[in-house]
């Protein structure tokens, strides 16, 4: 009998005891983890950038940033992006200090100018226009993209499919444990999701501004995953 109990514990079948915390079954149970995963091609992307300028003249720096931001927004609208797909909050202005060390070794903060910045995030729902968009961003004065994250417009539905796969995986694991332990798998006592979501996005390459090469979208797959922990009761 003792040998059988040790085998159950070693294979993942847990026998409940009164010392367990609240929420666990009070009868014998099996605890398993399940994993579900989908590999899908993206159909949209979030493109972020920051327009910035530092100058002793805050007014001229702000005018420079606002001018480039206006070009970016106009380009986005020209390519069919609606206002809901253009996130462009107002500019921020903050002093830019630099630590200067004197001949005696002591240092002081020196005001180098006013730093003006404005972040913009564009939601591109037609990836075939990625190259055209990036070309236009170069022309508008954007020198670097903060990030390009691929996504799916039906993300919630795909996440639900991944959860279903995770639950099915947990069921298969539990059934295998029950068979190995010589017990009958009962009903589900509880299911808890343990995270999951998107894995690494496909890379989107942006050609250097001085290069004649066209911006390139390197297609890939998005990993959408889900993980669950399931408690199954053991039938007597």
Q: Does one domain contain both 177 and 119?
A: no
pLDDT digit string, tens, across residues 17-73: 333 455 788 899 999 999 999 999 999 999 999 999 999 999 999 999 999 999 999
Kindly report the number of other CB atoms within 10 A of residue 58's CB atom: 17
Q: Are residues 69 and 115 in the same domain?
A: yes
Q: At what angle do helices 58-78 and 130-139 cross, to 10 degrees?
A: 150
- In this structure, the answer to whether residues 173 and 138 fall within a common structural domain is no
Helices (H) and strands (E) in the chain, counts: 4, 11
3-state secondary structure of 135: helix
Higher pLDDT, 174 or 208: 174
Q: Answer yes or no: pTM beyond 0.85.
A: no
Q: What is the CATH number of the domain that holds 189?
A: 3.30.110.170
CA 17 to chain CA centroid, Å, is 40
Residues 88, 182 within the same domain: no
Domain that holds residue 169: 2-41+155-235
Spell out the alpha helix ranges (H) of the chain: 2-10, 58-78, 130-139, 155-181
Is 116:62 a contact under the CB 8 Å cutoff? yes
CATH value at residue 62: 3.30.70.2970
Q: What pLDDT digit, counting tens, does each position of 85-119 carry? A: 999 998 999 988 888 776 676 778 888 899 999 99
Contact predicate 36/169, CB 8 Å: yes
């Amino acid at each position: 009998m003792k040998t059988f109990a040790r085998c159950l514990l070693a294979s993942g079948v847990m026998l409940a005891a009164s010392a367990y915390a609240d929420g666990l079954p009070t009868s014998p149970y099996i605890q398993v983890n399940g994993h579900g995963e989908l590999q899908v091609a993206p159909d949209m992307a979030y493109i972020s950038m920051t327009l910035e300028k530092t100058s002793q003249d805050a007014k001229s720096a702000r005018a420079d940033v606002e001018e480039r931001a206006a070009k970016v927004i106009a380009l986005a609208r020209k390519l069919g992006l609606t206002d809901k797909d253009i996130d462009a909050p107002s500019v921020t202005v903050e002093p830019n200090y630099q630590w200067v060390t004197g001949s005696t070794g002591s240092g002081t903060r020196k005001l180098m100018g006013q730093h003006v910045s404005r972040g913009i995030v564009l939601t591109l729902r037609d990836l075939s226009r990625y190259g055209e968009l990036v070309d236009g961003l170069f022309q508008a004065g954007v020198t670097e993209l903060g990030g390009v994250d691929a996504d799916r417009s039906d993300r919630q539905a795909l996440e639900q499919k991944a959860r279903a796969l995770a639950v099915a995986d947990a069921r298969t694991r539990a059934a295998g444990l029950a068979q190995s332990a010589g017990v009958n798998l009962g009903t589900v006592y509880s299911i808890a999701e343990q995270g999951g979501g998107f894995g690494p996005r496909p890379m989107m390459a942006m050609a250097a501004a001085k290069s004649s090469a066209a911006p390139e979208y390197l297609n890939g797959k998005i990993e959408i995953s889900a993980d669950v922990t399931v408690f199954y009761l053991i039938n007597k």
